[in-house]
Structure 1
Amino acid sequence: MFDEFYRTIYNQLFFKWILCHDKQYQQDHIQYHVETENEKLKVICLSTTKVKGKITIWYNNIVEEEILRIKDEKLVFYLHFTITDLAQCYHLFHKFYQTIIQYTQQKEWKIALCCTGGLSTSVFIEEMQQVCELENLHFQLVSLSLDQLYQNYQNYDALYLAPQIAHMEPEILAYTQHQIPVYCIDATLFATKNYRGIIQTIQKNIQA
């Protein structure tokens, strides 16, 4: 009998529990507010400079958690579940909350792919960006010509040279005074358009 009673108010208890953590949200620089509160549903929004999170708690104990990336409105997290007990709610809220923290704190690497006129590498950028989107990698990829490289190299975290200009690596390193890493793209990866292989190389270099 008591179990049945508590089940009827799980959604209200979970809602109140989320609101009780306002000090933690402030500490983590997360803005939150109640967007909707009525008999049918309750909606709480939590946001940072990079993502917008929303929890919808329905009257019938269905919960939806979603996170949108602000820069492109892409949905990066979605979970729905039926409340069976409050411990389950707390656990799944923690997963939702940690994802907000991770997306907010994760650095977005600005990577430039360079060739003589910027045309060859521009073909790669679109395909590589799609791979990054699928794998949730925080890379901002840009194609640069040699002239643009010399003018704007300081705006990037790393430079990757196409095989056609790999022989210029010493000159470019001297010009940039080793202020940022300069790498040569593997000729086979470039020639076979192995976008994933190039991205894996970038990942390894960042982790090195």
Structure 2
Amino acid sequence: MEMDEFLKEINADIFWKYIKAYDFNENMQVKVEDKSVIIKTAYSHSQINYHNMQLFEFKVSNTYLHTDEFYLHFQMKNMKHALELFNEMLEIIQTLVNRPQVKILLSCSGGLTTGFFAMKLNECAKLLDKDFKFEAVAFNKLIETAENYDIILLAPQISYQHASLQEQLPNKIVLKIPTQFFAKYDVSKLIDLIEKVQVAEYKKEHEVLTLGEITCKHGEILTLVLIRNSLRVHIGYRLFDRNNKVLEDGEIIKNHVTIEDIFDIVDTMTLKHTHIDIISIATPGIINDGIVDVMKLSGMIDGTNLKKAFGKRYRQKIILCNDVNAAAVGYHACQNNYHNISVIFQPVSTNAGMGHIVNDQLLVGSHSLSGEVQFMPLKLSKSRFELNKTVKGTIELLVHEVLLCIVTIAPELVVICNSLLDLDKLKNELIKYLPKDYCPKIVRIDYLQDYCFIGSFILAIRECN
């Protein structure tokens, strides 16, 4: 046995003994087994598993909202890194000692009647020991306020807006307050209704996209996709075999990402699957000569030469691509009707990105700057970061971005990923600037990740062939 392997085994055993003997907080119930440690708080269930080949698995689940708050697996490399991950997990668990509060926003035309209803609901919730917090807002300020709430309740007089709001707020639960509850201020029945509506039960399900017919010969390809949302960073990974079938599909969730976190995923996968030939990574930012510039996007890796770092560590071919470019390639591969496509990803509170397919080929450009709309000196009423928090502001941004696509690429199809998009309003604004016949077809998607997986897979095959 080589010394490195010998030391890894020793360090892994020491680390495992350290975890089993750790003095956990009194508010944590701990059960220690041979190869696992289970940690419970009032509102969380967590588990640490010790597998063969010095592999550790950490998971924290929110038992109140039925969501995963933290998940990762890694092979033991050094004690310092392992302790950092363990402490990060403990910090997440500690936040779930007290019951997570469900924030509920009521809305009516002016906010007055729902304001009184919200006050009565808070009184009832306190009496019933329900950890709900109710607030009210006028309808004209609903969209810009909704981001910080879990559930949106609409008064009967604006219930006709339900479908539109659910489309604009795809990650929120939007409910109509029954007229009989609202008319009598029946707070107990409304709270009963809310309790039946779990956030996790209303998350949109979407099918994993398929690759269709890809006939190029290739070995096993590991794809990784980094996605930043308003709270955490998600690193999705998917392993494709030689016949384009998915062998593994998973996700790591963290508050911040380091290069070691990506190494942990790849180390684990290469240990389990010894025939991986290519590692393809899709990440936000400008990728120029292997260096990723994410323009200081919070929680993401910035300024690192990923290609060089991975090349030193792994024998596999390393492919890097921008996330929206990968999504454009993936979307193009999933259809047969369009040869010129622009994909726009306009997340809330961060810069937009574009990916362009021209005559069935990805347009990248010098220094990989194609689609980096953040550098365009657009004439806007407010900063990009202020505008993309509201429906009205988002439409203003997207009008500029779609027009930019039309006059430079002239796509047949524009695909937009944005949670606040109102397609009808966008189309009505566009025809103020150009004839209706010149407007391309515009569609909306809610999830970028599956298209990124497919696109990074295809780009890996193309580069290697």
TM-score, normalising length from structure 1? 0.55
How far apart, in 2, do the equivalents of 1:26 and 1:187 lie? 41
Q: What runs of 5+ residues in structure 1 fail to find an aligned partner?
A: 122-143, 164-184, 199-208
| Pair 1:78 & 2:47 matched | no
The CA deviation at 1:56 is 0.8
Q: Which residue of 1 aligns with 2:16?
A: 15
How far apart, in 1, do the equivalents of 2:56 and 2:83 lie? 12
The CA deviation at 1:15 is 1.3
Q: Which residue of 2 aligns with 1:160?
A: 136
How far apart, in 1, do the equivalents of 2:119 and 2:5 lie? 70
| Pair 1:44 & 2:20 matched | no
Opposite residue 25 of structure 2, the aligned amino acid is Q
How far apart, in 1, do the equivalents of 2:73 and 2:30 lie? 20
More helix by share: 1
Verify the 8 A CA contact 1:114 1:149 in the aligned structure 2: no
Opposite residue 138 of structure 2, the aligned amino acid is A
Aligned-residue CA RMSD (Å): 3.5
The CA deviation at 1:65 is 0.7
How far apart, in 1, do the equivalents of 2:6 and 2:144 lie? 62
Sequence identity (%): 20
The CA deviation at 1:189 is 5.2
Spell out, residue by residue over 1:92-123, the C-alpha distance to the aligned partner (whole angstroms, 9 max, x if none): 1111111111233585253341438xxxx9xx
Spell out, residue by residue over 1:157-202, the C-alpha distance to the aligned partner (whole angstroms, 9 max, x if none): 4521333xxxxxxxxxxxxxxxxxxxxx52775988454747xxxx
| Pair 1:32 & 2:30 matched | yes
Distance 1:162 1:102, change over 3 A: same
Q: Which residue of 1 aligns with 2:86?
A: 93
* Residue pairs, 1:161-200, within 5 angstroms: 161-163=137-139, 186=141, 193=165, 195=169, 197=389
Verify the 8 A CA contact 1:61 1:82 in the aligned structure 2: yes
How far apart, in 2, do the equivalents of 1:147 and 1:189 lie? 21
Spell out, residue by residue over 1:113-168, the C-alpha distance to the aligned partner (whole angstroms, 9 max, x if none): 1438xxxx9xxxxxxxxxxxxxxxxxxxxxx96885464342364521333xxxxx
How far apart, in 2, do the equivalents of 1:47 and 1:103 lie? 10
How far apart, in 1, do the equivalents of 2:117 and 2:36 lie? 47
Opposite residue 141 of structure 2, the aligned amino acid is D
* Residue pairs, 1:59-70, within 5 angstroms: 59-70=52-63
The CA deviation at 1:50 is 1.3
Distance 1:4 1:157, change over 3 A: closer
How far apart, in 2, do the equivalents of 1:59 and 1:150 lie? 55
Q: Which residue of 2 aligns with 1:137?
A: none
Opposite residue 111 of structure 1, the aligned amino acid is I
CA radius of gyration, larger in: 2
Q: What runs of 5+ residues in structure 2 fail to find an aligned partner?
A: 126-131, 146-160, 170-347, 349-388, 391-465
Tell me the number of residue pairs that the alignment of Structure 1 and Structure 2 aligns.
Answer: 143
How far apart, in 2, do the equivalents of 1:92 and 1:6 lie? 19
Distance 1:95 1:162, change over 3 A: same
How far apart, in 1, do the equivalents of 2:25 and 2:138 lie? 46
How far apart, in 2, do the equivalents of 1:19 and 1:96 lie? 15
Secondary structure of residue in 1 paired with 2:36: strand
Spell out, residue by residue over 1:58-117, the C-alpha distance to the aligned partner (whole angstroms, 9 max, x if none): 12101111111112432221111110122221111111111111233585253341438x
Verify the 8 A CA contact 2:37 2:47 in the aligned structure 1: yes
